[in-house]
Amino acid sequence: MAVDYLVAQSHVDRALSRHLNEPNFLVRLSKAFRMLQEERRRPGASADEDLAAAEHYLFARQSVANNFCNQGQMRALVIGYGSLKFTLQRVGLGKLMQTTDNPTSRASKDSIEWGLMGVRDGELDRLKHLPGSLPAPFNPDFVKTGSSLDDKIKWLAEKGSGYM
């Protein structure tokens, strides 16, 4: 199933509208992301592809806009996460990507595209709301997936560092 653009956008609009009373736009973005993240953690909602795309969009947008990481790193994370999720789902190991006991949404090109739109819009927000700021340097905390893979990635990085 493809992501329905209008449905995904309605999730984004609803989350941003819910926090209209927040005067700081960057805080508003973060609150909107957290709202959708909380919704996806509820049983039955975690596999909703439209909600997942909206959450991925707001995660990328608020991360870049707030200068938690730069747009290049977030682009790599969006594409890498989506590709890893797709690969693991194809070989029956998709459960490794879960951050809760609930199943994840299906990996899709559409969800990656929504994440990349969030990167683009987040950079525009950063330039507007943090004028004069330099893009954030590489942030190793954004390499974490939030899933059981984090310990495995850390182990691989530590093992790999001995060979470099």
51: left (phi over 0), alpha (psi -120 to 50) or beta: alpha
pLDDT class of 99 with cuts at 50, 70, 90: confident
Mean pLDDT of 52-60: 96
Judged against a pLDDT cut of 60, whether residue 125 lies above it is answered with yes
Judged against a pLDDT cut of 50, whether residue 162 lies above it is answered with no
Q: Which amino acid is at 112?
A: I
User: How many separate helices (H) and strands (E) can be counted in the chain?
Assistant: 6, 0
Q: What is the pLDDT of residues 78-94, one digit of tens each?
A: 998 888 888 888 888 87
For 25-29, 68-72, 84-88, 131-135, which range has the lowest pLDDT when averaged over its residues?
A: 84-88
Question: For residue 163, what are its two tokens?
Answer: 């060979």
Q: Is 146 helix (H, G, I), strand (E, B) or coil?
A: coil
Judged against a pLDDT cut of 80, whether residue 150 lies above it is answered with no
Residue spans per domain, the chain: 5-161
Give me the pLDDT at residue 133, please. 95
Mean pLDDT of 54-64: 96
pLDDT class of 164 with cuts at 50, 70, 90: very low
Question: For residue 81, what are its two tokens?
Answer: 């996460």
Is the CB of residue 16 less than 8 Å from the CB of residue 121?
A: no
